[in-house]
Amino acid sequence: MVKTEAAAVFSEMSGRAWGVLAVLCGAIFLEGLDVGMLNVALPSIRAELGLSTGMLSGVVSAYVLGYGGFVLLGGRAADLLGRRRMFLFWLAVFLVFSGLGGFATTGWMLLTARFVTGVAAAFLAPAGLSLITTNFAEGPVRDRALMYYAGIAAGGFSLGMVIGGLLTAFGWRWVFFVPVLVSAALLLAAIALVRDSGVPERVRGGFDLFGALSVTGAMLLMVYGVVRLEHADDGPALTAATFAAGLAALALFVANERRVATPLVRLGILRSAPLVRTNLVAVLFIGSFMGFQFLVTLYLQELRGWSTVQTGLAMAVMGLDALLAPLLTPWLVRRFGNVRVIFGGVVLAALAYVLFLPTELDRAYLAMLPTMLLLAVAFSLVYGPLTIAGTDGVAEQEHGLAGGLLYTSTQFGAALGVSVVTAVNVAAVDAGRLGMDGLRTALIVPVVAAVLAGVIAATGLRRTAIPATEAPLVHA
């Protein structure tokens, strides 16, 4: 797989270590920034290009399809082909296709650009995560680096909504051109600073090409099936067929991985209960969060008539997680353990969603602020520890794979959350529950998802009975 050689592994936060961390955090921040800015700019894009609702939805779904379909392959490619090599190459691809999106004159041009940008992110994100886990020594240094990484990733999306609202006032194309400038700066810095901790070694028996094709096909079909849930009324048979084809491709993949000598994914990694629990919590927590944000955007812009700038500023408070994650969360994890912190964050998220349920059209922003603040705290408590738990206890040569699994879960959760709340909202409207009534019905979905995530997280609490003073930093 990967032959580890003598390489600089940071055992303390030196100047160079901070430089490497800044580059890797900048890349994951860019990804969140890119998605957040686009979401706010969608109405302006539709107005200028004359896109239908279906095409506009497709622009969002294309990125999710590219990301969710290829992220597992991206994680394994980082292990087998070199983490630094994958990081640099796909950062360059991200740069090029983000720029092409800014020059789009038709919906199909924009859709294609977003799909390839999603594919680039699918290879870039797990490569960046595995570069952190292999460049920073296991223990407090690595955990600190991961907390910064996760907090900045979350802050990118929140701040992206604010920045996107401001840039859209000058023209929606700037939401594509700004990532080009950021990508170029990061690429130059990465070439100078980032080093790989291992040298790719030729895989005995060759690369598992059939496994790569089958798992990518399965992920594409499953994510597309999730995206189609919000349009199931215009083709339920096609939606069911898509899921069936995805499951069939997944079954072929599993059968192949059991047979080949050098599998793309070692299925034994899924025997780890903490890893499976981490990924299930990630699906439900991210799904609830993304679904809620989508509904709040509709509430503020379509039901209350707020501008994109006002909407972005209203949700900017959730960007506080970028500060809380590196400052507060590491102390809490050391004091109470990873699983307890994750559980507490999920409970706070469920409470935040419940507090928003009574919202009316004339509700003051101050009355909504507790929900936004609670979500900022919840995200800071959950996302970072999940990132640590996603690779904790996994062999170094499989950190890319573990990162790919975690990012698959987050993207699948994001697609599932948005699609389910949309489907429930549409069904409620069709049943005569218009306006706020339909929105409140859909808002129940994030509540249920967060409660389920809490139940799953709670199953790991019994593993944290060791006194905090004797407990290791990570228990999940």
Give the architecture-level CATH label for domain 12-195.
Answer: Up-down Bundle (1.20)
Measured from the Cβ of residue 52, the count of other Cβ atoms closer than 10 Å reads 10
The pLDDT value recorded for residue 476 is: 33
Q: For residue 394, give the H/E element and its range.
A: none
Q: What is the mean pLDDT of each run of 10 residues along the chain (476 residues)?
A: 52 85 91 82 82 70 80 80 91 94 90 92 88 84 81 75 81 91 94 74 62 81 76 73 91 88 79 87 92 85 81 80 79 86 95 91 88 91 82 72 81 81 82 81 94 92 50 36
The pLDDT value recorded for residue 3 is: 44
- The pair of structure tokens assigned to 78 is 């980082």
Where does 230-327 have alpha helices with state H? 236-259, 273-298, 308-315, 321-327
The pLDDT value recorded for residue 283 is: 92
The pLDDT value recorded for residue 4 is: 40
- What whole-number distance in Å separates Cα of residue 463 and Cα of residue 21? 31
The pLDDT value recorded for residue 305 is: 85
Dihedral sign from CA coordinates of 320, 321, 324, 327: negative
- What whole-number distance in Å separates Cα of residue 351 and Cα of residue 347? 6
CATH 1.20.1250.20 residue spans of the chain: 12-195, 271-461
- What whole-number distance in Å separates Cα of residue 450 and Cα of residue 354? 10
- The pair of structure tokens assigned to 184 is 């170029």
**Residue 21: helix, strand or coil by DSSP?**
helix
Give the architecture-level CATH label for domain 271-461.
Answer: Up-down Bundle (1.20)
Q: Which residues pair with 198 in a beta bridge?
A: 4
Give the residue among 131, 54, 50, 49 at the shortest CA–CA distance from 90.
131
Residue count of the chain: 476
177-181, long-range: CB within 8 Å, 24+ apart, which pairs?
177/98, 177/99, 177/102, 178/33, 178/37, 179/30, 179/33, 179/34, 179/37, 179/94, 179/95, 179/98, 180/95, 180/98, 180/99, 180/102
Rounded to 10 degrees, the C-alpha dihedral 178/184/189/192 comes to: 180
**Inter-helix orientation angle 273-298/338-356, to 10°:** 20
The pLDDT value recorded for residue 467 is: 39
296-304, long-range: CB within 8 Å, 24+ apart, which pairs?
296/356, 297/39, 297/40, 298/425, 298/439, 299/359, 299/439, 301/43, 303/361, 303/435, 303/436, 303/439, 304/361
The pLDDT value recorded for residue 139 is: 80
The pLDDT value recorded for residue 53 is: 59
Note the pTM of the prediction, 2 decimals: 0.80
**Tokens 């709670």 found at:** 458
CB 146 within 8 A of CB 384: yes
Q: To 5 degrees, how large is the angle CA 246–CA 249–CA 254?
A: 125
Three-class DSSP labels, 72-84: HHHHHHHHHHCHH
Q: Which residues pair with 199 in a beta bridge?
A: 3
CB 31 within 8 A of CB 124: yes
- What whole-number distance in Å separates Cα of residue 93 and Cα of residue 192? 18
Q: How far apart are the first and last CA of the chain?
A: 26
The pLDDT value recorded for residue 471 is: 37
- What whole-number distance in Å separates Cα of residue 42 and Cα of residue 38? 6
CB 132 within 8 A of CB 146: yes
Q: Which are the contacts of 98, defined by CB distance < 8 A and separation ≥ 6?
A: 34, 113, 117, 176, 177, 179, 180, 183
Q: Which residues pair with 97 in a beta bridge?
A: none
